[in-house]
């Protein structure tokens, strides 16, 4: 029987929801990952997730400047945590 440990990503990286998308892109490139867990905005808040796809759709497709977009504007939430 498979367990969560068998299929999970062993090391995940996080970013603040207030970070700019350019910071997220730089972190993804540096750590060679395709997604980041977005930290909670408040103690009772939900985690979020930011993926390469989110960035492509939000920035590239809309011709937006990633320097002017915050992670919290394009992240998906809630992110289920096991």
In whole angstroms, how large is the CA radius of gyration of the chain? 13
pTM: 0.82
pLDDT digits 0-9 by tens, 12-64: 899 999 999 999 999 999 999 999 999 987 777 778 999 999 999 988 888 88
What domains can you pick out in the chain, each with its CATH number? 11-74 (3.90.1280.20)
Q: How far apart are CA 3 and CA 28, in angstroms?
A: 27
């Amino acid at each position: 029987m498979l367990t969560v440990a068998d299929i999970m990503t062993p090391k995940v990286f996080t970013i603040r929801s207030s970070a700019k998308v350019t910071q997220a892109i730089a972190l993804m490139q540096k750590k060679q990952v395709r997604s980041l867990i977005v930290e909670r905005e408040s103690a009772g808040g939900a985690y979020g997730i930011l993926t390469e796809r989110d960035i492509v759709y939000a920035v590239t497709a809309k011709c937006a400047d990633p320097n002017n977009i915050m992670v919290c504007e394009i992240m998906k939430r809630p992110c289920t945590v096991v």
